[in-house]
A and B are shown apart, each in its own frame.
Chain A
Amino acid sequence: MTSGTEPAKAGMPMTGPVPSANQPAHGVQLTELLHRITALANEATDTASALNKTVSDVCETMAWPAGQALVFDDDAGLVPAGPPHVIDEGAVETSGLLPSPSDEAGDSLARTVLGSGAPAWVRDVGPDDEVDGARGWLAFPVIVDDQVSAVLQFVSVDHADPDDDFLQTMANVGRQLGVLIERNRARQQLEAVNEDLERSNRELERFAYAASHDLQEPLRKIVGFTQLLEQRYRDQLEGEAGEFMDIVVDGALRMRQLINDLLTYSRTGRRQPPMGRVELGDVLAAALEDLHVALEESDGSIAVEGRLPAVHGNDNELRELLVNLVGNALKYRGDAPTEVAVSAAPHGDGWWRLTVADNGIGIDPAYHDRIFEVFQRLHGAGAYSGTGIGLAVCRQIADHHGGRIWVESAPGEGAQFHITLPPAARNDDGTSHE
């Protein structure tokens, strides 16, 4: 508990009538004040308005004539958060009522608090004041991260030191407001970071789009004219010339596929797809239709184990996810006929874990993370079709749904891909086509 500081005026005799000291607010009123401030601090999103409301509340509770909140700014110093709260506008000359924080003459009360981090008060402001009943000044800190972020200052009608109950209450009020300020700061930082990220994403998407289009034009010429060369000068070319040209064309075609995949990946990443109730059974059926050629060619079988639930998500994205996973299962098969099993199990909190399991060649645990990155392929070019973007897109889709995707697998033992998906909202109706 700190004591008040006395300014230069201390000791002057009081010449005016001595007003009867107001009854100090009772414990109950202080408790209720603290409750109100706590509730305010929990809900408020604007620091200044919360500080101003706090000052008003304290003034009303203590029946004090005036108060003001000051905020500390690194550049400007102590700055009012709002106009002073004044109980009786008519009777009060507000300027000069409250100790000015920018008082050059000496340390003002607020500056003292700023420096010490502790409350300070003057309990006898002397007869120079022109206001009935104004007898003391008090200032209280709001501390965030061990620094004073704001000061609440008041004019009181008491010329006694504030009692312990009140000091304790104000300390708690300061703490609550400190938490609020901290929370608001963190939120603002988060918003700033989010804005940066969004801008960066937009630029990336624009770049990917432009690059893919600009890159296709020279590719078209490489492929088209190499093929023309081949056609037109076939008879005059000997030996490996044909082979060389095949390699050139093949390279260009693969590059075109890479560009398309990159475009798909950047488009998927940027999407914020509409979400609604999705029946995974229907989505799987649609995915299998998309894959029917691959299914026929591979002589594989797909089985659904148990019932597939409804989830909250986007049907097109989930279909894409399943096409990728089941397609991979068919692609990376072993010697035995492919068997793919799709199932779902509860994952806690209503969430579901969707599993696509196969009996294919399996994946070495060393690569279980890498396979979800863009263009990470574990086998040489040409061994298996595709450019290695399918699983990266799957991960984007899992992200969009707030879920996770991972794999359990070992070489020669097939693979189980798991994705967690959120529960369908109870009042979801209809489809997620919008």
Chain B
Amino acid sequence: MVEDDPADARLTLESLEQSKLRNEVTVVGSGEQALAYLRGEGEHTGRLQPDLILLDINLPGMDGVEVLETIKTDDDITAIPVVMLTTSDADTDILRSYKAHASAYVQKPLGLDGFAKVVSAIEQFWFEVVLLPPDHH
């Protein structure tokens, strides 16, 4: 999860914890850190490649769509599905994201229930319904 607001990250984590699926979530607070993590650079050497990326648009430094674009140009990580999980429902943001090949765009819901439903739906879809790209490491 790429999310710079710790409280928002916490809410998402709490919702994820309540779901039935066991999963491991790594949270990074900026686009730059996200790229470092995905490329296994620096402190992130040896990390497991994630199966799914939850990406906020409003980040310090690079914004989420710029991060997305960078991910998609990198052959090693371009296949990982990216779900934009962000506050904005502005048409421009949605369009930019899909144009940059986001797999999905979800607006952060307000209440915990809403969050839980959305996160659970994301999990169900991406981990139960969908076939993920095979690991190529």
Contact = CB atoms under 8 A, between A and B. Distances in A.
Interface string B106-134: 00101111010000000000000000000
Nearest to A257: B110
B87 A224 contact: no
Interface in A199-237: 213, 216-217, 219-221, 223-225, 227-228, 231
A228 B14 contact: yes
Contacts of A217: 5, 8, 87
A249 B87 contact: no
A225 B111 CA distance: 9
B19 interface: no
Contacts of B7: 221, 224-225
Given A217-B5, A253-B110, A256-B110, A224 B115 contact: yes
Chain B CB within 10 A, most for which of A216, A224, A253: A224
B111 A224 contact: yes
Given A217-B5, A228-B14, A223 B88 contact: no
Interface string B50-72: 00000000000000000000000
Nearest to A260: B89
- Taking residues whose C-beta sits less than 8 angstroms from the other chain, chain A's interface range is 10 to 19
B110 A220 contact: yes
A223 B5 CA distance: 16
Contact of A249 (B8, B14, B111): B111
A228 B115 CA distance: 12
Contacts of B87: 213, 216-217, 220
Contacts of A231: 112
Contacts of A249: 111
B14 A220 contact: no
A224 B5 contact: no
Contacts of B95: none
A221 B111 CA distance: 9
B21 interface: no
Interface in A249-283: 249, 252-253, 256
Contacts of B14: 228
A228 B112 contact: yes
Contacts of B113: 227
Nearest to A231: B112
A253 B111 contact: yes
Nearest to A256: B110
A253 to B, nearest CB: 7
B112 A219 contact: no
B104 interface: no
Interface in A307-324: none
16 contacts: A213-B88, A217-B5, A217-B8, A220-B8, A220-B108, A220-B110, A221-B7, A221-B8, A224-B11, A224-B110, A224-B111, A227-B112, A227-B113, A228-B14, A231-B112, A249-B111
Interface of A: 213, 216-217, 219-221, 223-225, 227-228, 231, 249, 252-253, 256
